[in-house]
Amino acid sequence: MRALVCDTLTDDFSGLSLKDIPVPEVGKGEVLVRVSAASVNFPDLLMSQGKYQMKPELPFTQGMECAGIVEAVGEGVTEFAPGDRVVGGNKTGAFAEHAVLPAAGLSRVPETMELAEAAAYPAAYLTAYVALVRRANLQAGETLLVHGASGGVGMAAVDVGKLLGATVIATSASDKKLDTVLAHGADYVINVSQGFRDKVKTLTAGRGADVIFDPVGGDVFDESVRCIAFDGRLLVVGFTSGRIPEVKVNMPLIKGFSVVGVRAGEYGRRFPQRGKENMEAIWKWAAEGKTRPRIHAELPLEEWREAYRLLTDREVVGKVVLRP
């Protein structure tokens, strides 16, 4: 089968190449999936550069999440059968024609959803759910500030915030992207190129945002400290800016806010029952048509370099999907 394999860790992705490798064998508690679509996530890029917190042993097949059709099930798997439409992930292995995935991490794809949409859904919406529901306890009527709102995770946070009854302020450095985010459901949008704290204060009558969803880090985090409400929750989701920021602890003390780390997958591993409930909640929304990811581009697997470029150059509004 064809697969995108990482042999060496490099900043320019030169350690990646398409290769023909054997179809993986399905083991106990596992499912063999013929991949129809796989979503490209920013951690995929970081993993191939050796900059992600999880560092797989080389060589490894790239790709964190995919959707497709079950071809075979391993010993002990009773909840899935050949022909089922499923979606799931396993940190690596998704950018290939076939993937072996743990049955415990699979979900059925709702009939209302295409496989490409399903592939783009779980990582982004699970992150948004864990961040806003579990970690921030976002309440109806509160104000949510979403940074990086044009990315897949950011657009999911806008979706979830609106479902929870919050007023959503979305930010990006592109007016064109913000037009799309506004159409996606945000109440207000701010171009961060000229700063954002004063505008956030104006939109909140001087109070600041109750919850700030920050996958960007760097200068965006620094300025967020200046426009968060008392008793606010500043969610650390990632560092796509490339700089891990720091905060002097007198600021959370004086302003009475919390800095809260978000690791959606680890949350589910530490609290398995809650993890199961999280997945059930986001897929219930999907089945009811309340949430739907935006697909920026679908590309064949051999165009993986273009997919990586789109993410690297910050051109994506939503998610990019590869078709093996």
Averaged pLDDT, 195-213: 97
Whether CATH 3.40.50.970 fits 124-266: no
**What's the CA gap between 263 and 240, in Å, rounded?**
15
**Contact predicate 240/246, CB 8 Å:** no
Domain boundaries, the chain: 2-121+295-323, 124-266
Residue 189 confidence class, pLDDT cut points 50, 70, 90: very high
**What's the CA gap between 221 and 243, in Å, rounded?**
10
Kindly report, residue by residue over 64-78, the tens digit of the pLDDT: 999 999 999 999 999
**What's the CA gap between 66 and 79, in Å, rounded?**
18
Res 53: pLDDT: 83
Q: Which two tokens stand for residue 124?
A: 């982004």
Averaged pLDDT, 16-29: 96
Res 262: pLDDT: 97
Cα dist. 66→33, 71, 133 in Å?
Answer: 9, 14, 25
Which pTM does this prediction carry? 0.91
- Class of domain 2-121+295-323 as given by CATH: alpha beta
Measured in whole angstroms, the distance separating CA 3 from the mean position of its chain's CA atoms is 22
**What's the CA gap between 131 and 211, in Å, rounded?**
10
**What's the CA gap between 210 and 255, in Å, rounded?**
12
The CA-to-CA distance between both ends of the chain, in Å, stands at 10
